[in-house]
Each structure stands twice: as structure tokens, then as C-alpha cells.
């Protein structure tokens, strides 16, 4: 468990990358907890070419390195109605990817998640501060 502020996002992202036992990260927390903001920091730490944004309207974004190789996928399942929609986009195929996978609102597809993943639980402490807990599954 760690508490961080916006000014410490880079350090926080590096901590997650170093400590997570899986490259599948499920970021959970209430609306406004900073899931997308933290994913942007993770993407920056991984030196992706894109700066990152929520894929809310497209469900998934792909992030590449400077040579065009896929480094990460970013899913936002806030707007899905049921797990069948995740099947429709081929979620099980994405889980075979050996790079990083970031999932916002993973509780909406909990029955589809593989056995091994890292949950990043975010709690709002104040407008400037969050508490992060890594839970290994």
C-alpha cells in the first residue's frame, strides 16, 4: 500500500512496473480515482509513443514503441452492459499477449479474467492524494 500525489505519478508508475507479478493490471476504484491518469503514467514509463487516453468509446487502445511494436493494450469496460461484449471484442485473445495489459473497470468482466493478474486498487484520499494497493491474484 502506498499513498501518492499527482506530482509523484512517474515514481508511482515505476513502483507498479517493478512490483507487479503480472503484466495484466486491473485498475479499480471509483469514478475519478485516477485510473486513466495512472495508466498514462505507466505508458510514459514504458516509453510508448502515444501519451495515452481512455478508450471509453472504443473499449481498447493499442500503444506501441518507437519501432511500431505493440507494448500495451488499454481496456476501459465502464460502458459494457455484460461480459458477452468483452467476448465480442475477443478479450480471451488479448489475454495471450505477452506485453502489458491495463484494464479499467475489470470488475465488469471478473469472470473472464485469467487466474493470474495484479489488481491495482485506487482510493481517493483527497483531491490531490490517492492510496494504491497492489493485490496479486
pLDDT tens sequence for the chain (137 residues): 999 999 999 999 999 999 999 999 999 999 999 999 999 999 999 998 766 655 555 689 999 988 999 999 999 999 899 999 999 999 999 999 999 999 999 999 999 999 999 999 999 999 999 999 999 99
101 DSSP assignment: E
Task: Report the C-alpha gap between 117 and 90 in whole angstroms.
Answer: 18
Say what the pLDDT of residue 48 is. Answer: 87
Would you say domain 20-124 falls under CATH 3.40.50.620? no
Closest CA to 137 of 2, 15, 25: 25
pTM for the model stands at 0.92
Closest CA to 75 of 114, 34, 108: 108
Say what the pLDDT of residue 104 is. Answer: 96
Amino acid at each position: 500500500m502506498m499513498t501518492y500525489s499527482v506530482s509523484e505519478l512517474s515514481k508511482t508508475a515505476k513502483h507498479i512496473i517493478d512490483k507487479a507479478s503480472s503484466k495484466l493490471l486491473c485498475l479499480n476504484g471509483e469514478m475519478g480515482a485516477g485510473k486513466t491518469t495512472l495508466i498514462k503514467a505507466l505508458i510514459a514509463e514504458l516509453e510508448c509513443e502515444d501519451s495515452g487516453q481512455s478508450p471509453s468509446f472504443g473499449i481498447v487502445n493499442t500503444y506501441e514503441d518507437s519501432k511500431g511494436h505493440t507494448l500495451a493494450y488499454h481496456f476501459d469496460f465502464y460502458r459494457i452492459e455484460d461480459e458477452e461484449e468483452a467476448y465480442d471484442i475477443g478479450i480471451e485473445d488479448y489475454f495471450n499477449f505477452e506485453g502489458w495489459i491495463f484494464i479499467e473497470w475489470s470488475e465488469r468482466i471478473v469472470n473472464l479474467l485469467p487466474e493470474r493478474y495484479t489488481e491495482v486498487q485506487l482510493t481517493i484520499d483527497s483531491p490531490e492524494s490517492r492510496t494504491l494497493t497492489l493485490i496479486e491474484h
